[in-house]
Amino acid sequence: MTGREQTGADSARRLPILDALRGVAILMMVSFHFCFDLTYWQLADWDLLADPRWIAWRNVIVALFLWLVGAGLVLGQDTTAARFWRRWGQVAGSAVLISLVSWFMFAERFIYFGVLHFIAVAQCLGRWGLGVGAGRRPGGILVLACICLLAGNLELAAMNPRWLNWLGLAASKPLTEDYVPLLPWLGVVLLGMAAVLFWQSARRQVPPITLTDGCGQLSIKKNDGLHGLAWLGRHSLAIYLLHQPLLMGVLAFWVSLRG
């Protein structure tokens, strides 16, 4: 959820196909939150928190976003430290904003380690890992990903204390509106990193939808159906922050009209 407009050297590290995939995740997320908001305003009676089908949908959305975070870390591994930390600050600052807003909305169920908090931590870990020699070996990263996925599903009771929850560790979901623990979700980020490293080592060609315009910017033809999805993917953080206030505002207005 950290997409943004790219120019110059930045664009050389982006694949529009990944932006388009992020756009798909954005549409899935907005749809899911719209359904949640309908239940919040008692306009629908779906059980999004307990029904396995809704939980599976939510997990697919999160997994797609986090896989793309890992892929983006590898593609941007040569980014300067100053630029990386500037982008990281946008994500971390947005996570703090989410915590503050959710505190006023949900009190003790406020969001203290949601998806943006997780991404901020995962970006630091991924950046550090890529700086280590072994961190550039896709096979090793794939093994580590499997370990994280396995460890996160062991449901160890020792991981349940609240102070560990603040670190993104928990065997079961704590009392909060959104929670993305480091285990097993760090494994999904690592899978994204491993996939792009394997792709780079195999020297595969960039997908044919990737084009270069006269300014050296990667783009997708405007008449291509993926152009809109790629645009959403490049602005994913802004959409993430704004879509819920807009949806909630529209539904609140609709409810007030119904009286």
232-258 residue pLDDT tens? 999 999 999 999 999 999 999 999 988
Residue whose structure tokens are 């033809």: 221
> What number of other Cβ atoms are within 10 A of residue 131's Cβ?
10
Planar angle of CA 114, 151, 62, nearest 5 degrees: 30
Q: Give the Cα separation of 24 and 228 in Å (integer).
A: 10
User: Amino acid letter at 3?
Assistant: G
Q: Give the Cα separation of 37 and 151 in Å (integer).
A: 33
Six-digit token pair at 75? Answer: 């593609």
pLDDT of residue 174: 86
pLDDT of residue 220: 52
Instruction: Say whether pLDDT at 190 is over 90.
Output: yes
Q: Exposed/middle/buried for 248, CB within 10 Å: 0-12, 13-18, 19+?
A: middle
**Are 75 and 15 spatial neighbours (Cβ–Cβ below 8 Å)?**
yes
**Are 2 and 119 spatial neighbours (Cβ–Cβ below 8 Å)?**
yes
Instruction: Say whether pLDDT at 212 is over 60.
Output: no
Nearest residue to 10 (alpha-carbon basis) of 178, 152, 219, 167: 219
If you average pLDDT over residues 193-205, what whole number do you get?
82
Six-digit token pair at 12? Answer: 């050389």
The predicted-structure confidence for 130-184, as pLDDT tens digits, reads as follows 887 666 789 999 999 999 999 887 766 667 777 777 777 887 788 888 999 998 9
Residue whose structure tokens are 């503050």: 100
Q: What is the DSSP letter of 212?
A: E
Q: Give the Cα separation of 132 and 87 in Å (integer).
A: 21
Instruction: Say whether pLDDT at 39 is over 60.
Output: yes
Quick one: what percent of the chain has pLDDT higher than 90? 58
Q: Give the Cα separation of 222 and 4 in Å (integer).
A: 18
Q: Which residue has the higher pLDDT, 217 or 115?
A: 115
**Are 73 and 131 spatial neighbours (Cβ–Cβ below 8 Å)?**
no
Instruction: Say whether pLDDT at 9 is over 90.
Output: no
Find all residues with CB under 8 Å of 123, minimum gap 6, and list them: 69, 73, 84, 88, 91
Domain ranges of the chain: 8-258
**Are 148 and 184 spatial neighbours (Cβ–Cβ below 8 Å)?**
yes
The pLDDT-based confidence of 224 (bands split at 50, 70, 90) is low
Find all residues with CB under 8 Å of 216, minimum gap 6, and list them: 8, 11, 12
Find all residues with CB under 8 Å of 116, minimum gap 6, and list them: 1, 91, 92, 94, 95, 98, 240
